Structure 1
């Protein structure tokens, strides 16, 4: 696949996604301003999708007219090494989502971050361990404490009971 083909394909797919989101935003939702209340429930999804559609159409026009170097490029879009890195990342994200349903999001996030930072990224032990511990703790307190939105914990749920007693 060439750079030109990739740009064209991405613009088409994003245009279709924007149209789908715009259509879904009007499904029983108000996309306008509700008097005395503010924006309707479909306002932001609809209008942000509309802007995404306009951006995608502009990219399609630039691609059609060859207005940018990328839209004229016949170079290969991704080499073998890039495909391997993207494939490994997709597989790691798949296992993150799969693990979140059984082990819980926080344990899966720790495993994902350690794999991605230390094993795949080759970062130092200090940075890898520091971020692997800091990010899940930050996510926990942001969602569970500040926003009171519980995230899935799977079989690790009992480990969180002492923390709940401290913060609630």
Structure 2
């Protein structure tokens, strides 16, 4: 557990530095009359993340956090099983985006996660698995005007019906 804490902090620190570097290609300050530049939020959020990883490393060095005092392994057999089940579900979700669309893949993933991993009722599972993709559709397509991947054409009638509500 102790080694995992410092390795994770190090990886997140490297990721923070990379994100700060990439976002610095855009304006990271405030543009008069326009607002924050394109790199403002990514840069400063990554900077905050870098500070947090520094604090984690400091606490690790002083052995003040529970993980830094632990000699337990990072994952027990149950944790390894859950990592495989959840990670496999996410890999499946990403694989389904090109076939079912972002929203269809989200629907399938939520059913898998809520019903089969979380063992929730079918009523709750279907309510959440149906409403969340629809909410995301309206948020991205109507409010943000960002089109997410639509996958193959067989879900196009669903998107057309939802688009009639928007326009």
Q: TM-score, normalised by structure 2?
A: 0.89
3-state SS, counterpart of residue 81 of structure 1: helix
Quote the residue 1:113 is aligned against.
110
Q: For residues 99-141 of structure 1, what are the alpha-carbon distances to aligned partners after superposition, in whole Å with 9 as ceiling and x for unaligned? A: 1111212221111111111112111121111111111121122
Q: For residues 34-76 of structure 1, what are the alpha-carbon distances to aligned partners after superposition, in whole Å with 9 as ceiling and x for unaligned? A: 3444333322222221111111011111111212232121112
Residue correspondences, number:
165
Quote the residue 1:30 is aligned against.
27
Residue 161 to residue 44, structure 1, CA distance change in 2 (3 Å): closer
Q: 1:153 aligns with which of 130, 138, 150?
A: 150
Quote the residue 2:162 is aligned against.
163
How much has 1:163 moved relative to structure 2? 3.1
> Within 2, Cα distance between the matches of 1:53 and 1:115?
34
CA RMSD of aligned residues (A): 1.7
> Within 2, Cα distance between the matches of 1:160 and 1:35?
39
Quote the residue 1:141 is aligned against.
138
Q: 1:53 aligns with which of 44, 50, 53?
A: 50
> Within 1, Cα distance between the matches of 2:48 and 2:116?
39
Unaligned runs of 5+ in 1: none
Quote the residue 1:18 is aligned against.
16
> Within 1, Cα distance between the matches of 2:67 and 2:150?
44
Quote the residue 1:70 is aligned against.
67
Q: TM-score, normalised by structure 1?
A: 0.88
